Amino acid sequence: MKRRLPNYKDLAPLMQFKTPELNAKKRRLDQALTIWDLRTIAQKRTPKAAFDYTEGAAEAEISLARARQAFEDIQFTPSILRDVSKVDLRSQVLGGPVALPFGIAPTGFTRMMQSEGEIAGASAAAAAGIPFSLSTMGTTAIEDVKAANPTGRNWFQLYMWKDRDRSMALVDRAAKAGFDTLLVTVDVPVAGARLRDKRNGFSIPPQLTAGTVINAIPRPEWWINFLTTEPLAFASLDRWSGTVAELLDTMFDPTVTFDDLAWIKDQWPGKVVVKGVQNVDDARTLASMGMDGIILSNHGGRQLDRAPIPFHLLPEVVREVGMDTEVHLDTGIMTGADIVASIALGAKFTLIGREYLYGLLAGGREGVDRTIAILEEQIARTMRLLGVTSLAELEPRHVTQLERLVPRAR
């Protein structure tokens, strides 16, 4: 073997050093390549009670685990030798344009989890051209969300309270602020048993204990932001002292029926979507009532544990009502491939909740931007590898749901 001294001209192209990123937040977020990476960052930077409220589900958290497993248990069927140099992720949803096949789901107590809260989500949604959903349990006023997303699509999520007048006053405010869609959540007649919150003593406002203080010591930025920004307030109520579950049980009305839903639809000038549908019969009933859309959802696993898996329900529900009613989906999504699989099996749109919050906890507005960018990149890459260039080209033939949980014959 002949050897020689290295030639600088040969080595120079191989020795180009990356310019160091001096902004710590940007450096941290740039290193996050997946939603799971954002989750890891979020957990390190957020006190346990707030992170567990984001992360946790009901009881043994079986529903959430199964929903995520369902997305892992799929097989894609790609087509080859297609020109996929350009892909189009745009579509029409509920009568209006969306730039991506997902929007930001409604989340409660958002500013308690991270001080920028709904403003970060709404402004990031505006920049990305996707809808932002404000929860009845949100911590930013309806009008302030509109100001953060003045020309984009804002959706308002309604829990029907025992105090009907107060509920409809919120609906009226949302309509006057120009929100175009009402999401009526119907799977919360009472609060689910969220055991992490009970064990953490998660309350409004947060209660300081010795454990809380010890857990907060390595997370000073969270506390500084929490204590030096506007006091926590809610879109829908002025003050509350007690646990989250006690608040939900005080507010939610277990007597709500389909008749109430029809009445709500008559009061709202825009589109009405029912969130929390978990069986085919209810989907048929809602379609027959003229609802504009339904969201297959088990509330992120936060209500009934061992609830149906929305992704498994999707094909049958689409066959039954998809021609008349838009079918959307949430729960369990953690990658852009999950969203592609949902669209291929007939979902018109998807919503991200925890995924958005992981980004928010990891880096505020910039973290939400990173969540959206990660999912957009994953969606586009998955579509290219499948050999499709638009959402409309995605079909059930592209996805096989592999069987893991198969009901026993009766």
Reduce the DSSP state of residue 145 to 3 states and report it: helix
- Give CA 213 to chain center in angstroms: 30
Task: Name 403's bridge partners.
Answer: none
Location of structure tokens 């499709």: 388
Q: Please say whether the dihedral angle defined by the alpha carbons of residues 281, 272, 173 and 262, taken in this order, is positive or negative.
A: negative
Query: Is the backbone peptide bond immediately before 6 cis, with ω within 30 degrees of 0?
Result: no
Which one from 299, 312, 328, 398 is the annotated catalytic residue?
Answer: 299
Among 401, 186, 253, residue whose Cα is nearest residue 313: 401
- What type of residue sits at position 18? K
Q: How far apart are CA 298 and CA 303, in angstroms?
A: 7
Q: Which two tokens stand for residue 33?
A: 């390549």
Among 50, 361, 62, residue whose Cα is nearest residue 197: 50
Location of structure tokens 């959402």: 391
For the chain, the farthest-separated pair of C-alpha atoms sits apart, in whole angstroms, at 89
Q: Which two tokens stand for residue 317?
A: 């529900």
The answer to whether 299 is a known catalytic residue is: yes
Pair type for strands 96-98 and 74-76: unpaired
Reduce the DSSP state of residue 399 to 3 states and report it: strand
Active site residues: 299
